[in-house]
Structure 1
């Protein structure tokens, strides 16, 4: 009966982590560009009491043997990079990647981070930055006398300057990055991801070409969290937690019976 206590204990711990993952998804249901996580379970080592296929006699063998599991654990969380819904806004600095790709953001330490959050702003120098003030990479500076700001589907950034002969002028080209394994990126918060050995090196290219998604102006990508799906997952997790708790209660009652009657 003692092994049952430890096995169910691993079940409680795993479901607790699973609930934490679900709650983080629900907490970020309104986070721009957020990608939901999914907990991945794996059974623990088995105690082999009788080896499957071992000889029971000279002419016969065990068909299945005796294998006792020792519980479960969560070995990882996988990011689901399916696209969220695109929402139209009236802000010219709101951008979204329609398809594969990430915006490149220069961090204060000089390293490049990657994001699906296209909520950009202008700093005091007219440079396009994130909500935390991190500059878009490659850097794009909007002139102070610009009357209009336009981003094409291929990432071409142009403005119209004030004057009698107002003409469109290209001031930069926005490039996006993609990865062989986006799920291997390291999430660091603030809607940013970092390159890892698992994600592979970034492949930088022009939006709309060679499999890269196009850039959409006046648009933001919503979180890909489905509240209905997460609520169902939460109920399932709660029931699994209750069943593991019931196992502990039952094992305790059996131990109580042994101690009181023997």
Structure 2
């Protein structure tokens, strides 16, 4: 009875964690650039319990033992980095990526963070009058291919082409002011999700271990393209998440019933008199 109670309790805790992940996905079904999360589980202290030797009869087809575990636990959280659908906005600084690349921004503390959310705009540069900075919706500075913030003339007209080149048109003519940093994601498991729909490198990892930062060879088509006037939507499939939620709720109810049954059996055993 103790084993069944422990197994049910541990399983309920793990199922609750999965419910939290599903709820997080559903809450961000309309979040631009959001990537859904999934989870994997593993047995807790699974072992083989051997039968008494009397069960080892001649002609037995199955091994004399049975598997006994203590529930399951959350083993890992997996990011689904599949591309979401693109929605046209008509705003030149709304950018979406066709491919596996990510935008780079200057996160808290000056470190580099990565995102697929391309809702950018310009903000005045307080330390450089006459210039503006390209920032995202959280106010983080967008970085160029040299990991520097992108500064633009305040009186210029800004456009971004498919290669990520930032063009500025002013009275002095039309020129390339910067090139967006667009590293190609190779190892999604090397990223850690942060607040604000941002990702950072996992502990001990370098950018070269997670991203392919080599530019396309001369004459070779770019690995990813930037689409101006579009935003990438969340890749969460609402119907799939609701189906998962119902399945997990049923599993939670079953584990709760097993816990209740174990508690009832224990109470009966405690009240038995010889």
C-alpha distance in structure 2 between counterparts of 1:172 and 1:252, whole Å: 67
Aligned partner (choices 181, 189, 193) of residue 183 of structure 1: 189
| TM-score for both structures, normalised by structure 2 | 0.84
Task: Give the number of equivalent residue pairs.
Answer: 255
Residues 1:108 and 1:245: Cα distance change in structure 2 (over 3 Å): closer
Aligned partner (choices 112, 127, 143) of residue 133 of structure 2: 127
C-alpha distance in structure 1 between counterparts of 2:228 and 2:214, whole Å: 18
Q: Which residue of structure 2 aligns with residue 151 of structure 1?
A: 160
C-alpha distance in structure 2 between counterparts of 1:72 and 1:17, whole Å: 12
C-alpha distance in structure 2 between counterparts of 1:260 and 1:108, whole Å: 60
Classify the secondary structure of the residue corresponding to 1:157: strand
Q: Which residue of structure 1 aligns with residue 86 of structure 2?
A: 86
The answer to which of 72-81 and 202-211 deviates more is 202-211
Residues 1:44 and 1:127: Cα distance change in structure 2 (over 3 Å): same
How far does the alpha carbon of each residue in 1:103-122 deviate from its partner, in whole angstroms, 9 at most, with x for none? Answer: 01122422111111111111
Q: Which residue of structure 2 aligns with residue 71 of structure 1?
A: 71
Residues 1:207 and 1:234: Cα distance change in structure 2 (over 3 Å): farther
Indicate the RMSD between aligned Cα atoms, in angstroms. 2.7
Classify the secondary structure of the residue corresponding to 1:176: coil
Offset at residue 61 of structure 1 (A): 10
Pairing 1:104–2:104 present: yes
Q: Which residues of structure 1 form unaligned runs of 5+?
A: none
Q: Which residue of structure 2 aligns with residue 214 of structure 1?
A: 225
Offset at residue 161 of structure 1 (A): 1.3
C-alpha distance in structure 1 between counterparts of 2:134 and 2:214, whole Å: 19
Q: Which residue of structure 2 aligns with residue 169 of structure 1?
A: 175
Pairing 1:259–2:265 present: no
Q: Which residues of structure 2 form unaligned runs of 5+?
A: 126-131
C-alpha distance in structure 1 between counterparts of 2:93 and 2:222, whole Å: 24
Classify the secondary structure of the residue corresponding to 1:237: helix
The answer to which of 239-248 and 127-136 deviates more is 127-136
The answer to which of 130-139 and 221-230 deviates more is 130-139
Classify the secondary structure of the residue corresponding to 2:124: coil
C-alpha distance in structure 1 between counterparts of 2:214 and 2:163, whole Å: 10
Q: Which residue of structure 1 aligns with residue 258 of structure 2?
A: 247
Offset at residue 20 of structure 1 (A): 0.5
